[in-house]
Amino acid sequence: MNKSQIGIAVALLIFAGASAAADQGLENCLQAVKKDKAGELLKLEKLNIAGKGAYEVEVRDANRTEWEFVCDADSGKITERETEVADPNTSSFKKNVKVTEEDAAATVLKAHPGTIQEVEYEVEENGASSYEFDVVGDKGVETKVEVDAASGKIIETATEEWEIGEEADELR
């Protein structure tokens, strides 16, 4: 584990410990993720999805596979689970792609003007591929926009309230 990973882990532990009393939903979420996939915590985000609070937790397992979990902020129950691939040419991602990353990005920027800060390549539980773009608008608000890589349609939009951790390989 390198220094930045240790720093993220310590921050997450401190944050989780301090928040446990104040936010049982977060504690339940972290426990559910840990039970589902043991591994290294990479990133934790608080999101607002369609007016409802959620946590997004990213974990890297022993096989170096990255997993993304979304939990309901109130209950802490996992509502979404998907894998991330570092390379869009990975077969599990590429097999369902009909829309280029550039076209997906154009769709996102038309709906949510700003600067794309990050892109993730995700494989849903049902095997579908999607692009997830983090867009920062002119007021500094970060919006996560997920685009179906087969249809090119926006399938989910969330506003980020805060983030702990960052993955350099996702930065643009």
Q: Tens digit of pLDDT for each residue in 116-153?
A: 999 999 999 999 999 999 999 999 999 999 999 999 99
- One-letter identity of residue 73: A
| Number of domains the chain contains | 1
- Measured from the Cβ of residue 39, the count of other Cβ atoms closer than 10 Å reads 18
Q: pLDDT-based confidence at 13, cuts 50/70/90?
A: low
The predicted model gives 5-21 an average pLDDT of 52
Q: What per-residue confidence (pLDDT) applies to 5?
A: 53
Other residues' Cβ atoms within 10 Å of the Cβ of residue 52: 12
pLDDT tops 60 at residue 46: yes
Residue with token string 């390989």: 169
Question: Looking at residue 134, which CATH number applies to its domain?
Answer: 3.10.450.40
Instruction: State both tokens at 76.
Output: 């802490």
What pLDDT does residue 76 have?
A: 95
Looking at residue 166, what is its pLDDT? 77
pLDDT (mean) for 27-53: 96
Q: What are the backbone angles phi and psi of residue 74, rounded to the nearest 5°?
A: -80, -50
Return the closest-CA partner of residue 80 out of 143, 116, 42, 130.
Answer: 130
Q: What is the mean pLDDT of the chain?
A: 90
pLDDT tens for each residue of 86-125: 999 999 999 999 999 999 999 999 999 999 999 999 999 9
Give me the percent of the chain exceeding a pLDDT of 90: 82
Q: Which amino acid is at 59?
A: V
Task: Place 23 in a pLDDT band, splitting at 50, 70 and 90.
Answer: confident
> Contact, 18 vs 47, CB < 8 A?
no
- Cα separation values, 113 from 34, 119, 140, 142, 152, Å: 36, 15, 11, 11, 17
- Give the structural domain span for 45: 3-170
Q: Nearest to residue 58, comparing CAs of 172, 170, 138?
A: 170
The dihedrals phi and psi of 89, each to the nearest 5 degrees, come to -90, 0
Confidence label for 17 from pLDDT (cuts 50, 70 and 90): low
pLDDT the model gives residue 8: 56
Contact predicate 136/145, CB 8 Å: no
Question: What pLDDT is attached to residue 14?
Answer: 56
